[in-house]
Structure 1
Amino acid sequence: MNKLYSTACERNRDPILQILRGVLANAGRVLEIGSGTGQHAVYFGAALPHLSWQTSDLPQNHPSIQAWIAEAGLSNVLPPIALDTAAGPWPQQSFDAVFTANTCHIMAWDEVVAMFAGIARVLRPGGAVCIYGPFNYGGRFTSDSNARFDASLRERAAHMGLRDFEAMDALARGHGLELAADHAMPANNRLLVWIKTA
């Protein structure tokens, strides 16, 4: 059975959807970076049928994404494309929005930097970037649980760890993305939204 299951996706999908309903109300094509198990894609695709939801991830994660899509039978959720944020290849077409969840603390910082550069290339002017996950503010953890999570990530691999909001926002601004919202989410997570102005 290729279909993998994430309890985190199950827990956070409804709070995320509440925000996406507004942010993506006028969007058409959405690129999801790091679709993971595929759960978010089919849940948001079913709830937001006006969207064409393009899944993407490293090739080894495609079987689970494909299994979730096949089970859901949604025509607006597209099969995953291979996308390594640092190595590419990035899609040639443009998108009205980009969404990614729980990826930035797994990626190396160089990959996060490359991700913003890639997003700036594929996102149309006026398009939104939505990034969900835990972040530090002012170089500090926002909770004890986030500090423990960061420690566990760094034990797994030296390149992992919670990212600083200020560093993320500086990257975004460097690519013509303006912060539109910073939503507090359950379990000490955030949903950050930038809009492409240039």
Structure 2
Amino acid sequence: MTDSRLQSPAAARNRGPILEVLRDVLPDGARVLEIASGSGEHAVHFASAEPGWTWQPSDPHPRALASIAAWRESAGLPNLREPVPLDVEGDWPPRTFDAVVAINLLHISPWAATEALMAGAGRCLVPGGVLVLYGPFRREGRHTAPSNAAFGADLRRRDPRWGIRDLAEVTAEAARHGLAPARVVVMPANNLCVVLVSGPRSGSDP
């Protein structure tokens, strides 16, 4: 493409299976905040597939924001909002959402980003709202496939702060912010979709 739109082969491969999970766990009129939207292709695909959802893409990187904006302009979808600059470890939008979605984020960021994601989702999700994570995970301290082990080693070589996270450690961090595991869906290419649900606010009825 000659404009600002970036393309991700991974997004083209996984958007269908992720959409199936989202349709299972999101209400018809869901307000969704996507963290680290990257190229913006997921945002366009999901907003196009479900016109009742209001999709808020975000990313900390100017090139990604330009790509998201270009995809949004090309698609012309009224339920796809303008992208906002958001670093997961920084300030989040002062609004509530029915869902927060993070695709392929945890393994290519330091553990502090996982902590910030759980804290931010815990603050902005409505009671019963969901945090949906997609990517590779370890289970019971082990990689789910030899290819994931090799991928994890490569991530560590690229940045020692990166790496495939253990699902138990991720859910334990989520629990500290009122997020409880609801389901784990096995996805293609040795990935998982992990759905966590926000509990009642402090002081609210159980």
TM-score range, shorter chain: over 0.9
Normalising by structure 1, what TM-score?
0.97
Matches within 5 A, 1:143-162: 143-162=145-164
Would you say 1:79 and 2:82 are equivalent positions?
Answer: yes
- Structure 2: distance between partners of 1:163 and 1:27: 32
Q: Give the drift of 1:157.
A: 1.2
Say whether 1:23 aligns with 2:16: no
Q: Deviations over 1:55-86 (max 9, x none)?
A: 00113220111111111111111111111111
Q: Which 5+ residue runs of structure 1 have no aligned equivalent?
A: none
SS at structure 2 position matched to 1:21: helix
Aligned match of 1:58: 60
Residues 1-198 of structure 1 aligned to structure 2 (within 5 Å):
1-60=3-62, 61-86=64-89, 88-198=90-200
Secondary structure in 1 matching 2:67: helix
Residue correspondences, number: 197
**1:177, 1:170 → 2: CA distance?**
9
Task: Report the alpha carbon displacement of residue 28 of structure 1 after superposing the two structures with TM.
Answer: 2.2
SS in 2 for 1:163: coil
Q: Distance in 1 between matches of 2:22 and 2:29?
A: 10
Describe the superposition over 1:14-34 as per-residue Cα deviations: whole angstroms up to 9, x where unpaired.
111111111113442100001
TM superposition score normalised by structure 2: 0.93
| Aligned mates of 2:61, 2:165 — CA distance in 1 | 25
Task: Give the C-alpha shift of residue 159 in structure 1.
Answer: 1.1
In 1: Cα distance, 2:132 partner to 2:93 partner:
18
- CA distance in 1: counterparts of 2:156 and 2:49, whole angstroms: 35
Identity level (%): 46
C-alpha distance in structure 2 between counterparts of 1:107 and 1:2, whole Å: 24
